[in-house]
Chains A and B, each alone.
Chain A
């Protein structure tokens, strides 16, 4: 603590340089937080997926339907607790920019298979009685200012003419965990079945299968696919996390992209701050020599340089992360629900601070070692 005044005085020696270095740390940490949040938004589905759920789709592609008649056959397979089916609606609410995912759901089994998405009991009962009823995710309801009882027209772009289907908001669901997707819009399967063209009746988009035990996953998946092998609608069954991961892969290798951008940021920051620290140490060669002459040990000088670099990293990092905490919710709104919840978790903030301190220490290390090895007589000769 008694050396803190010396460290602080050195930090504030060149205020403009200090501000610029803090700025570069802040921007880098903001970018770090943003990339971490986007990566989580893309890959979070796989991480949140239940180990007790399987997804069965048409073997050709998810856009090819599979028969509704498969449901009972799947339900009879040992190890299966319950089965539900969904279909993508892909409608437009007011404007194409207002994207949110809409699904025709099987009300009988939806809550058994997805218990983490909570709908108040009275709202759910109203939904069951209402053919045009719909349940909206809390984020989507908040985004459009929907309330229970509101009538919501959604234009279909896939089924029939470009007409609007009208829904009534009977309930709003919340996720148990902050990361749960609260952007979906569910409506009655019967209403969907009634209005789709004749050729699509009796078909569904996919099944979600809830297992008694995650240990049964491989066996049940194989049994389901074997059951429908050599039929006109062969299936492909995989765990929910594998399904979510392959869904993300459709967008390209997001993880690699984020890792690449992150690495570029890391090394650029390392070079910028390393150069700044090197200049700062070079400017103070004489002063460091004096400190050593009057009895400061080599490792003390190294620690002073590391402390300065780490202090810059910590303050700059905190500023960047604070900026990210403020900006990311606004960013989520601006993205119009294109990505699920953008959540900057505590672990991300901790990782960001760790990253900042690592860069700070690394950038101070080489100049610090130079200062540590400095011979007083050589330094005094240069003054």
Chain B
């Protein structure tokens, strides 16, 4: 269950409190996020929408420990990440976050298998265990037969599937998807969204996704709207009801 702008539930998977982010551009201070509160439970699928520059990607970066807030806190599964050192934050990301980006961002000189294996190289898993995990992840995204193909030998949709396999292979706490269908045609986008839905419904994953596309956002359980750095609206897409009296 997603809760916005109230104290929420202290047992939520993701707890955001008073989150501010200010950038300095030239001599000007630009406040991207303003005192944002958010609670996301295990198994939620949340879409963030909003116009360009509204702070969607900045929020995702802060939730994923890629950036640090100007003020406020982010806690995930009880770990407060906002005050972690850069090294600790990197370790935390490896354990807890799976990233899916708009441009897939696969390493072009590695095969699909090798790309998916990358996060596992940081673990102490044996080669055979790694193989097992990679094959499972590629099976989930339906690309087991193409594991030895290079990214250039795959379609955009297939590349994004490999990127999703890379994101889930280490069984992270949650997935952060930044415009995962932004570079795909409608059919491929539908397939990717079906896959993400399956990860939520069948595998119990928690997914936080940024998108411009209302059709894609409609596939999420909850859609939150960001405007000028403030969560102004939440709408129920499916069964999960937004709580806390927002919108």
Using CB atoms and an 8 Å cutoff, list the residues of chain A in contact with chain B: 2-3, 5-6, 9-10, 12-13, 286-287, 289-298, 376-377, 380, 383
**Given A380-B101, A383-B103, is A293 in contact with B109 using a C-beta cutoff of 8 Å?**
no
Known A-B contacts A5-B114, A294-B99; the reply to A377 vs B66 at CB < 8 A is yes
What are the residues of chain A within 8 A of B246 when measuring CB–CB?
A: none
Cβ of B72 under 8 Å from chain A: no
Closest CB in chain A relative to B41 CB, distance in Å: 24
When distances are taken between beta carbons in the complex, the residues of chain B under 8 Å from A290 are 99, 101, 105, 107
**Are the CB atoms of A376 and B66 closer together than 8 Å?**
yes
Binding stretch for chain A, among B85-93, B131-139, B205-213, B235-243:
B85-93
Residues of B within 8 A of A5 (CB): 110, 114
Can you spell out 5 A-B residue pairs with CB atoms less than 8 angstroms apart?
A2-B127, A9-B114, A12-B109, A289-B105, A376-B66
B122 at the interface (CB under 8 A from A): yes
Which residues of chain A are near B156, meaning CB under 8 Å?
none
Within 8 A of A (CB), among B112-126: 114, 118-119, 121-122
Chain B interface residues toward A at CB < 8 A = 61, 64, 66-67, 86-87, 90-91, 93-95, 99, 101, 103, 105, 107-110, 114, 118-119, 121-122, 127, 166
Q: How far is the CA of A26 from the CA of B187 in the complex (A)?
A: 52
Does the CB pair B86–A294 fall under 8 Å? no
CB <8 Å contact, A295 and B66: no
Name the 10 nearest CB pairs between A and B, nearest first. Answer: A295-B94, A9-B109, A290-B105, A376-B66, A377-B67, A294-B119, A13-B109, A297-B90, A295-B93, A377-B61
| 17 additional A-B residue pairs with CB within 8 Å, beyond A9-B110, A297-B91 | A5-B110, A6-B110, A6-B118, A9-B114, A10-B109, A287-B107, A290-B107, A292-B90, A293-B66, A293-B93, A294-B94, A295-B94, A295-B95, A296-B90, A297-B87, A377-B66, A383-B105
B93 contact set on A, CB distance < 8 A: 293-295
> How far, in whole Å, are A317 and B95 apart by their CA atoms in the complex?
40
A-B contact count (CB 8 A): 64
- Contact among A9, A12, A297 with B107 in the assembled complex (CB-CB below 8 Å): A9
> What chain B residues lie within 8 Å of A291 (beta carbons)?
118
Docked Cα-Cα span, A6 to B109, in Å, equals: 8
Q: Which of B67, B101, B114, B122 contacts A295 (CB 8 A)?
A: B122
How many Å lie between the Cα of A10 and that of B108 in the bound state? 9
A294 touches B66 (CB 8 A): no
Report the bound CA distance from A377 to B95 in whole Å.
19
Contacts of B119 in A (CB 8 A): 294-295
Contact indicator B105/A286 (Cβ below 8 Å): yes
Contacts of B166 in A (CB 8 A): 294
Residues of A within 8 A of B107 (CB): 6, 9, 287, 290
- A292: chain B residues within 8 A (beta carbon): 90
- Min CB distance, B108 to chain A, in Å? 8
What is the minimal beta-carbon distance from A382 to any residue of chain B, in angstroms?
Answer: 11
State the CA gap A9–B107 with chains docked (Å): 10
CB of B90 within 8 A of CB of A295, answer yes
CA of A377 to CA of B99 in the docked complex: distance in angstroms?
Answer: 13
Give min CB distance, B57 to chain A, whole Å: 8
In the assembled complex, which residues on chain A have CB atoms less than 8 Å from the CB atom of B67? 377
Residue of A nearest to B103 (CB): A383
List B contacts of A293 (CB < 8 A): 64, 66, 93, 99
| Least Cβ–Cβ distance between B118 and chain A, in angstroms | 6
Write the nearest CB–CB distance from B95 to chain A, whole angstroms.
8
Q: How far is the CB of A293 from chain B (nearest CB, A)?
A: 5
Docked-complex contact B90 and A287, CB < 8 angstroms: no
Complex CA–CA separation, A6 to B115 (angstroms): 9
For residue A131, give the distance in angstroms from its CB to the closest CB of chain B. 77
In the assembled complex, the Cα of A340 lies from the Cα of B244 at a distance in Å of 92
A290 to B159 alpha-carbon distance, docked (Å)? 15
Give A65 Cβ to nearest chain B Cβ, in Å. Answer: 73
- Distance between Cα atoms of A340 and B198 in the complex (Å): 79
A377 to B65, CA, bound (A): 10
Shortest beta-carbon distance, A8 to chain B, in Å? 9
CA distance A294 to B64 in the complex (A): 10
Contact call B86/A3, Cβ cutoff below 8 A: no
Residues in B with CB closer than 8 Å to A2 are: 121, 127
Given the complex of chains A and B, what is the CA–CA distance between A114 and B87 in angstroms? 67
Q: How far, in angstroms, from A2 to B127 measured CA to CA in the complex?
A: 9
With the chains together, A2 CA to B131 CA distance in Å? Answer: 13
- The CA-CA distance from A5 to B95 in the complex, in Å, is 23
Cα–Cα distance between A286 and B119 once the two chains are bound (Å): 16
- The residues of A that contact B105 with a CB separation of less than 8 Å are 286-287, 289-290, 383
Q: Which residues of B contact A383 (CB under 8 A)?
A: 103, 105
